[in-house]
Each structure stands twice: as structure tokens, then as C-alpha cells.
Structure 1
Amino acid sequence: MTPHDPALLDAAREGDADAVRSALAAGADPEARDDHRRTPLLLASLGDHVGAAEALVAAGADPNAQDDREDSPWLVTGVTGSVAMMRALLPARPDLKVRNRFGGIALIPASERGHVDYVRALLNETDIDVDHVNRLGWTALLEAVILGDGGRAHQEIVQLLIAAGASPELPDGDGVTALEHAERRGFTEIAGLLSAPRDGRP
């Protein structure tokens, strides 16, 4: 596929906000695609180029447009953990239910990767589904335990998810709960958080 509006795509990839605005003013399509079906806004999100992203959002760029790997500008923020980019995209009203190639939403990779500030902002500033289950049968809470390192960042993410209403009782596809995974991995602090009384329940 021949890329459309290469000047806009290049400007977004490089994070040149002025060049992005110039290309848009000259009539470039904000939904142009490169050879991997990445839009300018996705390229800006991948590079954490907030100024370029803001210019594209102002021009009506779609935060949900997915490429050939099923990544979108919004989903990418969960991978990079960029709170600034997340907030730059919120005015575009991203679909919080858009799924990546693993069937996950933005909260899940962020929880796995230990992006504490991002998880906190996402939970506080959106109504994202804390108990969304991906194709692996994992929620954000399960992924934080199964793929996390048990350290301070993942402990804090577990706390944030529980405080936001995540259900520790939801098991994975094999019937194993987050608490059982934490105990198996020797994550004592996380196991304590998962087994602590909540809302008056034992």
C-alpha cells in the first residue's frame, strides 16, 4: 500500500507539531495510513509526542483507529504508560472498550508493566472496566500478579485496582485466582493485599 500524506505521517512520527499543523492546514488527511495502517495519531502516540497528538485531536483524528497489529492511539498509552498522552486523547472521547490483539483494554498492559501513575489516572479519570477479561482469561489484576515482579510498583497497582472495585475472586481460565498466583510466586505483600478484608467482608 502506498502511504497517503507522507508529510503528515512523517511529522507525526517525528513529533514535529508545527509540521503536523502545517500539513493539516494544507489539506492532509488526519486518518492517513502508512504501510502498517498506522495513522498519524498512532505514530504520535507511539513516540509519546504529545504536542503533535494534540494538534491531530484538534483536527478530529480518531483515537480508536487500529493498525495491522490491532494497536490504536488509545491502546498504545497503556503500553507506554504516558499519562500526558492519555490526557491528550481524552477530549477525542476514546472508546474504552477497544481491544488489542490479546483481547485486552488499555488498563491490562499498563497493570502488567507497572505503570502506577497511568493506572491511577486511568482509574480516576475514566470509567474503564476494571474486571475486563482478555483472551488469555486474565483481568488487569491477574496480569499484574502473573506477569509482574511482585515489587513496589505492582503492589501499588494491585492496591489501586482493588480500591477501584476489581474482583480478586475472579480466576483465570484455569480456575486460579490472583491470590493463589501471588502465593505460588512468593509475593507475600501482594498476597496480603488480596486477602485483606474489604467492605466488611472477611
Structure 2
Amino acid sequence: MTPVGHAAPRFRSGAGRLCLDFMRTLRLRGMDDAVEELATPEALAAWVRQFGPYPTGTTVAAPTTDVLHEARRLREAVHTLLTTARGEHGAAGCPPGSRRLLNRAAAAPTPVPLLGDGGTVRHDAADPVGAVLATVARDALDLATSPALDRVRVCAGPGCAAWFLDASRPGSRRWCSMETCGNQAKKSTWRTRHAG
């Protein structure tokens, strides 16, 4: 597995659910060239800044290394839960260790909405990282036990493996992103048809 460099990356978004966007932080999951995007506590803080409900410019301190490792374990528990939930036994088949980790994370406080003097809502948390991880866990539990799970897909792009929620009307979306994997697939098909 390749760690991403020390510069805070801009993480992929658009999976349709927070827990699926979180799963994407292990890019190319299951492949030899998998990339760990949460390589450092600073990277986790950057992910929280990008995906959390906090106002732009909110300072999110880098968590401890222990919190980083717990976040990665949570990500893998989310993957295990959703994989299991899509199978024969549904969410009930989730292994006890993953279930305990998810339940513990989901029980933590989430970001609190606050109405400001100007009439706008902002979110705050004593532990911004932990609060967003709690939101991720709650989102995964909700998705695993909802009809929306039937719309979760794995990208058909070769060398991608990102999961996404297919919100298209016909339910036939094939790629995590039309701009990346979809365009690559169409270009490849065009080249094949026009070769020689």
C-alpha cells in the first residue's frame, strides 16, 4: 500500500454518502497499488475540514496517531458492514468486532448546529475530528439498514473500485464519476472501435 505524501491532498468526493466518501480514503482498495490517503494525522484533519460541516477556515487540529489508527479501523469496519449488508445475511451478518467499533464511534457526540446572530447555522464540536467520525459511523449504520443500500455500486472503471450511491433515476449508473472513470471508459471504447 502506498501512502500519500505529506502534503494534504484534496480528497475525492461525490460518492453520495459521507461513509462512502470516507471509504474512498483507501484508494484502489483490494489492488496491489492501493493508496492510503489517511497516511498522517494531518491528512485526517484535512479530510475532516473538507467533509465536515464546519465553516470554511475552521481550525481542525491534527489528532493523535492513536485517533488516526482508530479512524482507519472505523473505515475498514464501514467497509465490512456495507459489504456484509449487501450479502445474504444483510447487516445482521456484520462481524461482532466491526459492529462494536461502529456502535462505539456512532455513540460519540456529533457536530452541534448553532444559529448565529445573522440567522445562519454553523456547526461546532469540542472534538471536530471525533464528531465527524461519529457522523460517518451513524451514516454507515443508516445506509446498511436502509433501502438505499440497493443503490450502492462499485465503479466499473478498471483500476478504480470506488463505491458510490447511484441516485440516477433508472439506477444504471456505472462509474463513480463521469469526469474521470466514465470518460476514460468512453475513450478506451472509442480507441478500440477505431483502432487499425
Q: What TM-score, normalized to structure 2?
A: 0.26
Higher share in strand? 2
Q: What TM-score, normalized to structure 1?
A: 0.25
Higher share in helix? 1
